[in-house]
């Protein structure tokens, strides 16, 4: 709150979008704060695709095939397909909103302008916290994959492997945060390289696995077709479990303010990343369930893909999967830290958090305070290694945001404000956003009850912050 005990924006700021007589600017040697300060547009289509694909091709593609295959067998391919359809139904409305409002903040920005300050505050802060916990999960996964790589190479870590995982996760979190402080372009270059290498490895591996599954080559693997569960509820329940894999496409919108030619690149990056990732996930689960039976996948658990690689290509195949897991978790963590900081930046620019959180580093042109607010808690949580439940909660919070994005599009179209002029429009009138909202909210019903409770508690806490700090801030319709 302000010094006078009230919430609001810095003196001179007109949150309703009207230009004040004097634009307040605070400059220091490190940073500048201004209501009109914008981040530099350095990301192209490749960078946008890398963020979307890189975030989604993370721990999920290496962890979920074993868990999902154990639940429903080969029907898990349908579960991943359902997740991809839900993501696509949301990607289309998000693309329209992003071309009309190419601002950093993504889903938060769209919802706050379409549905008002309370909804914007809950989504903005929930997105921040959800991404923090998800990123910590990625970093812990990175630590475990690094441990597996050392084991394959015959390197012993002593009697405290869990401590090694924590140290690796913390160090990686600090390094990725520092990299993002030095410039979005530097982070994007690393992201592009990681994603390109990872996709090359996955395509080669899945190509061989697919040829084995259809009988073109014979790797001597058993058929994994026993006890499959092709019924609606288990498939949808498994889709809710694996939906964490599809959290990345909307993160492209959080860096909309930094994308070149946003009217073209934003829709292509979001929709393209969903299509590419859905195809890869469906192929991955098909190969896994064609290589091992449902019971075998259940016995392998989270390391099932390593065993698939070993079965298909020997020790070299296992090493490919371990290296791929390292690249995937690095990619997810790097992209998520970038997106988390932009979510904080967008909320702070609207005075829903203290204004100092929106400071931009003069040397690098990045929101260094927001990056600290992202990286700090991420590193702390990564050190605990206990983030699986919080990763599920991240999926819950994202589905709430996705559903509200679709509702916000319907509300804005209904109101027809003068400022709304998107370069891309979702075809079919209100049908796609309406179905996207129902699908997003509906998938939550199939989630674990504990995750639902924790997710609702986080939303209640963010609503409490709104009533404590920002209930006199008006955002609806502001640009």
Chain segment 448-465, per-residue pLDDT in tens? 888 889 889 989 998 998
Query: What's the average model confidence in pLDDT over 143-147?
Result: 81
117-152 and 107-115 are packed helices; what angle lies between their axes, rounded to 10 degrees? Answer: 160
94 against 147, higher pLDDT: 94
Chain segment 276-330, per-residue pLDDT in tens? 889 989 998 988 888 888 888 888 876 788 888 888 888 888 888 888 888 878 8
Query: What's the average model confidence in pLDDT over 145-158?
Result: 79
What is the predicted pLDDT for the residue at 157?
74
pLDDT at residue 382 is higher than 70: yes
What would the 3-class secondary structure string for 79-132 be?
A: HHHHHHHHHHHHHHHHHHHHHHCCCECCHHHHHHHHHCHHHHHHHHHHHHHHHH
What is the predicted pLDDT for the residue at 423?
82
What is the predicted pLDDT for the residue at 475?
60
Select from 415, 401, 62 the least CA-distant residue to 242. 62
Beta-sheet strand order (sheet of 360-361): 25-27, 31-34, 360-361
Instruction: Kindly indicate whether the domain formed by 50-470 is annotated with CATH number 1.20.1740.10.
Output: yes
What is the predicted pLDDT for the residue at 410?
95
Percent above pLDDT 90 for the chain:
13
- CA 13, chain centre distance (Å): 31
Using alpha carbons only, what angle is made at residue 23 by residues 19 and 27, rounded to the nearest 5 degrees? 150
Three-class DSSP category at 32 = strand
Q: How far apart are the first and last CA of the chain?
A: 23
Chain segment 230-241, per-residue pLDDT in tens? 788 889 888 888
pLDDT at residue 66 is higher than 70: yes
What is the predicted pLDDT for the residue at 431?
95
Report H helices in 350-430: 368-384, 388-415
What is the predicted pLDDT for the residue at 444?
92
Query: What's the average model confidence in pLDDT over 5-34?
Result: 37
Query: What's the average model confidence in pLDDT over 162-191?
Result: 78
What is the predicted pLDDT for the residue at 3?
41
The pTM for the full model equals 0.76
Residue ranges per structural domain of the chain: 50-470
In eight-state DSSP terms, residue 380 is: H
Strand (E) or helix (H) holding 345? helix 304-349
pLDDT at residue 229 is higher than 50: yes
pLDDT at residue 260 is higher than 60: yes
pLDDT at residue 479 is higher than 60: no
The average confidence (pLDDT) of the chain is: 78
413 against 258, higher pLDDT: 413
Q: How confident is the model at residue 478 (pLDDT cuts 50, 70, 90)?
A: very low
Chain segment 88-103, per-residue pLDDT in tens? 999 999 888 888 887 6
Query: What's the average model confidence in pLDDT over 220-228?
Result: 53
Q: Which residues lie below 8 Å from residue 442, measured CB to CB, with a gap of 6+?
A: none
Contact 108, 120 (CB under 8 A): yes
117-152 and 161-181 are packed helices; what angle lies between their axes, rounded to 10 degrees? Answer: 130
Q: How confident is the model at residue 62 (pLDDT cuts 50, 70, 90)?
A: confident
Query: What's the average model confidence in pLDDT over 50-57?
Result: 77
pLDDT at residue 435 is higher than 90: yes
16 against 39, higher pLDDT: 39
Three-class DSSP category at 27 = strand
Percent above pLDDT 70 for the chain:
81
pLDDT at residue 432 is higher than 70: yes
Q: How confident is the model at residue 217 (pLDDT cuts 50, 70, 90)?
A: low
pLDDT at residue 51 is higher than 90: no
Contact 73, 224 (CB under 8 A): yes
Chain segment 335-379, per-residue pLDDT in tens? 778 777 777 777 777 777 777 776 777 777 777 777 787 788 888
Q: How confident is the model at residue 185 (pLDDT cuts 50, 70, 90)?
A: low
What is the predicted pLDDT for the residue at 40?
64
Select from 454, 453, 455 the least CA-distant residue to 403. 455
pLDDT at residue 409 is higher than 90: yes
* 268 phi and psi angles, rounded to 5 deg: -65, -40
Three-class DSSP category at 211 = helix
Q: Which residues lie below 8 Å from residue 287, measured CB to CB, with a gap of 6+?
A: 206, 209, 210, 212, 213, 308
304-349 and 368-384 are packed helices; what angle lies between their axes, rounded to 10 degrees? Answer: 140
* 403 phi and psi angles, rounded to 5 deg: -65, -40
Strand (E) or helix (H) holding 272? helix 262-291
Using alpha carbons only, what angle is made at residue 265 by residues 343 and 100, rounded to the nearest 5 degrees? 65
Query: What's the average model confidence in pLDDT over 168-177?
Result: 87
Chain segment 102-134, per-residue pLDDT in tens? 766 667 778 888 888 888 888 888 878 888 888
């Amino acid at each position: 709150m302000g010094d006078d005990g009230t919430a609001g924006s810095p003196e001179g700021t007109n949150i309703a979008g009207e230009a004040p007589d004097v634009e307040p600017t605070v400059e220091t040697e490190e940073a500048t704060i201004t209501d009109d300060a914008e981040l530099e547009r350095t990301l192209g289509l490749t960078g946008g695709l890398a963020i979307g694909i890189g975030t989604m091709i993370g721990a999920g593609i290496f962890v979920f095939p074993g868990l999902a295959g154990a639940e429903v067998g080969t029907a898990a391919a349908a579960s991943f397909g359902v997740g991809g359809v839900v993501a696509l139904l949301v990607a289309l409305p998000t693309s329209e909103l992003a071309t009309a409002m190419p601002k950093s903040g993504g889903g938060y920005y769209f919802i706050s302008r379409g549905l008002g300050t309370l909804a914007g505050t809950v989504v903005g802060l929930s997105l921040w916290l959800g991404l923090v916990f998800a990123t910590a999960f990625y970093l812990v996964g990175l630590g475990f994959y690094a441990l597996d790589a050392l084991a394959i190479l015959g390197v012993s870590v002593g009697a405290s492997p869990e401590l090694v995982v924590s140290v690796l996760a913390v160090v990686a979190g600090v390094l990725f945060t520092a990299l993002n402080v030095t410039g979005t372009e530097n982070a994007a270059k690393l992201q592009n390289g990681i994603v390109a290498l990872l996709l090359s490895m996955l395509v080669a591996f899945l190509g061989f696995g697919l040829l084995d599954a259809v009988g073109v080559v014979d790797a001597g693997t058993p058929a994994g077709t026993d006890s499959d569960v092709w019924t609606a509820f288990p498939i949808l329940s498994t889709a809710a479990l694996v939906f964490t894999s599809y959290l990345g496409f909307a993160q492209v919108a959080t860096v909309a303010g930094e994308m070149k030619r946003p009217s073209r690149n934003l829709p292509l990056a979001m929709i393209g990343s969903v299509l590419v990732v859905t195809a890869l996930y469906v192929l991955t689960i098909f190969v896994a369930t064609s290589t091992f039976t449902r019971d075998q996948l259940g016995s392998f658990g989270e390391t099932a893909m390593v065993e698939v690689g070993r079965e298909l290509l020997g020790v070299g195949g296992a090493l490919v999967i371990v290296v791929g897991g390292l690249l995937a978790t690095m990619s997810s963590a790097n992209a998520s830290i970038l997106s988390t900081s932009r979510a904080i930046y967008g909320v702070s620019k609207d005075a829903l958090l203290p204004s100092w959180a929106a400071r931009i580093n003069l040397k690098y042109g990045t929101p260094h305070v927001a990056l600290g607010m992202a990286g700090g808690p991420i590193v702390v949580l990564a050190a605990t290694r206990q983030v699986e439940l919080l990763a599920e909660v991240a999926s819950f919070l994202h589905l709430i945001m996705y559903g509200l994005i679709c509702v916000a599009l319907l509300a804005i179209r209904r109101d027809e404000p003068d400022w709304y002029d998107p370069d891309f429009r979702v075809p079919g009138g209100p049908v796609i956003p309406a179905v996207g909202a129902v699908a997003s909210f509906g998938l939550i019903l199939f989630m674990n009850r504990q995750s639902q409770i924790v997710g609702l508690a986080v939303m209640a806490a963010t609503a409490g912050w709104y009533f404590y700090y920002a209930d006199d801030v008006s955002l609806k319709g502001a640009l």
